[in-house]
Amino acid sequence: MSEARGNNGPHSADVGPSGRKIIYDKDGKPCRSCNTLLDFQFVSKTVSPTPQSEKGNIEGSKVYKKVDPPDVEQLGRSSWTLLHTVAATYPEVPSDHQKKEMNQFMNIFSHVYPCSWCGKDFEDYIRNNAPKVDSREELGKWLCDAHNEVNEKLGKEKFNCDLWKKRWVDGWN
């Protein structure tokens, strides 16, 4: 993958319990958004004795549960859901203004992504494969290809991009 923005990138010698290399931020601290919760807790020695499901509500609230910040896996799933849903609702024939905004959005997204290493990787992908924003179909397939590149790097199965509309627009049946 690409180099990290922080002091220690994905090539760090530290490996967490998940078997993944620990990613550090620019200050040399384990990146909360770039590591799994278990790996982050292991490296920062903050393993929580209480499982998430037993934490209860935030003091004074009947609604808001005590939830830890997202780890790299939850953040990734949520981010891909957002991006694919944005593509699924993108106009079939966008205006020049909408095309410009989508290009800007993808670039800004890569710059502000909470895991700086992941953001840099997406930024590099965009630099080498400019977002295709001339139609919903083009954007959906481009994003599917981007997602598949990440899946491949993570050793996950690739998704058949011919089925992107069934997954994100129309539904399976």
Q: CA of 165: how far to CAs of 57, 129, 148, 171, in Å?
A: 38, 21, 15, 7
Give 64 or 164, the one with higher predicted confidence.
164
- In sequence order, what are the beta bridge partners of 65? 57
Average pLDDT, the chain: 85
Q: What is the pLDDT of residue 10?
A: 47
The one-letter code for the residue type at 122 is F
pTM of the model as a whole: 0.74
pLDDT tens digits, 104-140? 999 999 999 999 999 999 999 999 999 999 999 999 9
CB 140 within 8 A of CB 168: yes
Q: What is the pLDDT of residue 56?
A: 78
Ordered by where they begin, the domains of the chain are 73-169 (1.20.120.310)
